[in-house]
Amino acid sequence: MDKRLKYSYAEKKEQSRRGSVVLVSLLIFFVLYVSFTSFILSMRSMESDSMQPSIHAGDRFIFSSYLLYSPDIQRGSVVLFDMEAGKRRGLFEIALDGITRFFTFQRVSISKRENSFYIKRVVALPGDEVSMTNFVMRVRPKDSPYQSTEFEISEKHYDITIPQVPALWDESLPFHGNMDPVVMGEDECFLLSDDRSNTNDSRNWGPVPISSIKGRALFRYWPLNRIGAP
């Protein structure tokens, strides 16, 4: 051991000060990180194949965490939907979850609400009328007399997976691919899976409130061969 460090009070005090600076710096860093990922940007991993063919399980995205409705959410936008948006999380849970997700590269979350988050695509906005024919949505925008397919009216290009339905599967049976017209409320939108065989979306939930959308996908950063805007 350095004798100067062993016998010098000033040197020991300086070493203690440096250690305190490091700890305070780490604390400040994590506070800023948690604040940033809670209110500005967040990173999320796609956990299922419900958004194929455009998005695959394991794809990772940067989402905006703070949204104003217009113009961030558009028809065709990929968004993060919180099924339990009305339930508040404590600051300690938010902080611990943010730190856990940081050190595990978004693979692990300690939040009990993690299973309430879904990545879906916006098909209709407030005031729109939507219906479905053979798994393809038709949208009549608010105050418009005309109806178009979801692809014609979307701000973004995307594709969908249409399941093969048995010939005898008529409209009296569930998941037949057709839906009667539904009009969105003033604070509602319609979210769908790109893989239309997966019905864990507004076909089951109904229109969802804008306030339950917690982020818009800005950038896919993994895998590298599909990096870019979603």
CATH for 41-86+113-223? 2.10.109.10
Window from 5-9, 34-38, 42-46, 120-124 with minimum mean pLDDT: 5-9
Q: Which of 201, 177, 197, 198 is nearest to 189 (CA)?
A: 201
Q: Which has more pLDDT, 101 or 116?
A: 116
Say yes or no to pLDDT of 69 above 50: no
The per-residue pLDDT for 35 is 64
pTM of the model: 0.76
Residue 40 and residue 64 in contact, taking contact as beta carbons nearer than 8 Å = yes
The per-residue pLDDT for 92 is 66
The per-residue pLDDT for 167 is 66
Average pLDDT over residues 63-67: 71
What pLDDT, in 10s, does the model give residues 96-106? 776 676 666 66
Say yes or no to pLDDT of 187 above 70: yes
For the chain, the distance separating the N- and C-terminal CA atoms, rounded to the nearest angstrom, is: 56
Say yes or no to pLDDT of 121 above 80: yes
